[in-house]
Amino acid sequence: MVFLNSALAGRVLFDDGNIRANACINGGERSLHTFDSSQEKEIQQIAGDKSQKDQPLFVKSVARALAIINYVVKSPKPPTFTMIQEILNVPKSSLSYLLQELVQQQYLQFDSEIKVYYPGLQLIRIGATCINNSNFSDELWRGIKQLSEELGETTHAVMLEDRFVIFIAKNRGAKEVSAVSNIGFKLAAHATAGGKMLLSSLDETELDRRLATVELEKYTDFTITSYAELKSELTEVRKNGYATDNQANVPGGFCVAAPVYDKTEKMIAAISISVLAGKITNEYLQVLIQKVKAAAQNISTRLGKV
């Protein structure tokens, strides 16, 4: 969410495993090692440095396991074994054992095809218990499932972490747009409909803090890379109550997103529907906007928003 750090919603639909983190993201993506010095130091301290060499073996193992989880969750892209080993400086044999155990216990999931690690179901379940509304994940899941079944398109739910969105739930439609949307996967918020919806909830000071001094990733020729242009679009998003993404994230994909609010009227998530851009007409776009906004409003109402 990440909300993976403290508030990941519980029930998700892992599809049949065919969605992979592949070449849909390239070029402008941040490196896996683009942690600042304070973040890297924090993770290494969790893992345990040489000054902690007198710790009991069990304590070291726990510290290293927590550091691995922390790194995988915070990494801009799913890391490989080598990347985890390099940043944490854990012996390969120990790291191999810890990763196997974390995968077996479902704290991590391993993609054997591209050899990377993702946050696992246990983290999602644990995160769900941290949400004030205990029915959050159920209502979110039910809402996107109904929307997907009604229109036959793929739906997602995302939450905001810093300047990224995390995919927290998904229901596959009959014709899925090829995209990187594994549960727990992180994408730059400015390049997604759900991300722009969530960014629109931030005041100008907070928006500047997160985005004013960074280079906005370019995923396709349609991705907004100008902060001024992004702020202008967010103004329209606030006015309209929905956001769109026309091939900004993946070529050939079009998304419409709407906000989900909790009982305090805080925007806590966004749901979106993804279709092939070639299917979009003015009439169909209006249908998508109406249906997504209605679904998001229904979820918000069930969460207590008046």
Burial pattern 52-84, b for ≥16 Cβ within 10 A else e, equals: eeeeeeeebbebbbebbbbbbbbbbbbbeeebb
| pLDDT tens, position by position, 49-60 | 544 555 667 788
| Three-state secondary-structure class, residue 144 | helix
Q: What percent of the chain has pLDDT over 70?
A: 76
Phi and psi for 118 in degrees, rounded to 5?
Answer: -125, 160
Average pLDDT over residues 216-227: 94
Question: Which pLDDT value is given to residue 69?
Answer: 93
Q: Are 212 and 274 in contact (CB under 8 A)?
A: no
* Interval 257-263 mean pLDDT: 94
Give the C-alpha separation, 109 to 102, whole Å.
Answer: 8
**Which percentage of the chain shows pLDDT scores above 90?**
52
Q: How far apart are CA 293 and CA 271, in angstroms?
A: 9
Q: What angle do CA 290, 233, 184 make, to 5 degrees?
A: 70
The arithmetic mean of pLDDT across residues 226-247, rounded, is 96
Buried b or exposed e, range 200-217, using 16+ CB within 10 angstroms:
bbbeeeebeebbeeeebb
Whole-number pLDDT of residue 194 = 97
- The rounded distance, in Å, linking the Cα atoms of 245 and 237 is 11
Answer yes or no: is pLDDT of 93 > 70: yes
Across 38-64, average pLDDT: 62
Alpha-carbon distance of 76 to 54, in angstroms, equals 33
pTM of the model: 0.64
The verdict on domain 132-302 having CATH code 3.30.450.40 is yes
What are the φ/ψ torsions at residue 197 (nearest 5 degrees)? -60, -45
3-state secondary structure of 17: coil
How far apart, in Å, do the first and last CA atoms of the chain sit? Answer: 24
Pairing assessment for the beta strands 267-276 and 108-111 based on DSSP bridges: unpaired
**101 has pLDDT over 80:** yes
* Tokens describing residue 203: 């005041």
In angstroms, the CA 259 to CA 267 distance is 6
Buried b (16+ CB within 10 A) or exposed e, 157-181: bbbbbebbbbbbbbbbbeebbbbbb
Say which range, 55-59, 117-121, 140-144, 297-301, has the weakest mean pLDDT. 55-59
With CA atoms as reference, report the closest residue to 255 among 241, 245, 269.
Answer: 245
pLDDT class of 178 with cuts at 50, 70, 90:
low
For residues 258-275, give the mean pLDDT: 93
Question: Can you give the pLDDT at residue 28?
Answer: 30
Give the pLDDT of residue 23.
Answer: 25
Mean pLDDT score across all residues of the chain = 80
Longest dimension (CA), the chain: 68
Whether the pLDDT of residue 122 is over 50: the answer is: yes
The mean pLDDT of 7-20, rounded to a whole number, is 31
Domain assignments of the chain as residue spans, ordered by start: 37-75+81-114, 132-302
The alpha-carbon radius of gyration of the chain (Å, integer) is 19
Residue 38 in contact with residue 155, Cβ under 8 Å?
no
Answer whether residue 47 shows pLDDT above 80.
no
The answer to whether 88 touches 47, Cβ cutoff 8 Å, is yes
More confident residue, 48 or 144: 144
The predicted structure's pLDDT at residue 117: 92
Per-residue model confidence (pLDDT) at position 181: 65
The residue length of the chain stands at 306
Nearest partner of 273 among 185, 145, 187, judged by Cα: 145
Predicted local confidence at residue 78, as pLDDT: 86
CA gap 149, 154 in Å, rounded: 9
- Model pLDDT, residue 13: 32
Supply the pLDDT for residue 233.
97
